[in-house]
Amino acid sequence: MNPRIGLGALTITAEHPRELARFYAKLLGWNYRRDEQARPGEPPNAGWALVCPPTGVTGPALNFDYDPGFRRPVWPTTPGEQNPTIHLDLGVDDLDATINWATECGATVADLQPRPNEHRVMIDPEGHPFCLCRS
């Protein structure tokens, strides 16, 4: 019998994890739960932060972790540049309104849109792509 395994959180590396966590907390309407500041000898932006779904919403938390070797991802993939290794697909009821909200929060609309009638590729403040998908 296999052990029961649950997904608790997705970890996203960043140069400024607390700021990126605040972006996603605002975008999603989730709770900025807690963070840890830089340890002695680390740059001030080091540390981590945790964003959790509100009570009653099922899903994993988002953990944002400082990576001293972080390189801003480039999307679409470009030879020789840092590739995005994961992205979030976010279900939305109103694509246009959510695009406007995401840009107000600090995201940008990606130049390349493979399926603009179905979803919109957005870029978060640290360069990670995420998709707004019609529910």
Q: Average pLDDT in the 63-91 region? A: 94
pLDDT of res. 108: 98
28: Cβ–Cβ under 8 A, 6 or more apart, which residues? 51, 53, 90
Q: Beta strands 129-134 and 88-92: pairing type?
A: parallel
Work out the percent of the chain whose per-residue pLDDT is above 90: 91
Q: Which fold has domain 71-135?
A: 2,3-Dihydroxybiphenyl 1,2-Dioxygenase; domain 1 (3.10.180)
Work out the percent of the chain whose per-residue pLDDT is above 70: 100
CATH 3.10.180.10 fits 1-70, yes or no: yes
* Separation of alpha carbons 44 and 84, rounded Å: 25
pLDDT of res. 135: 86
Q: Where are the domains of the chain?
A: 1-70, 71-135
- pLDDT classification of 21: cutoffs 50, 70, 90: very high
Q: Please check whether the two domains, 1-70 and 71-135, share a CATH topology.
A: yes
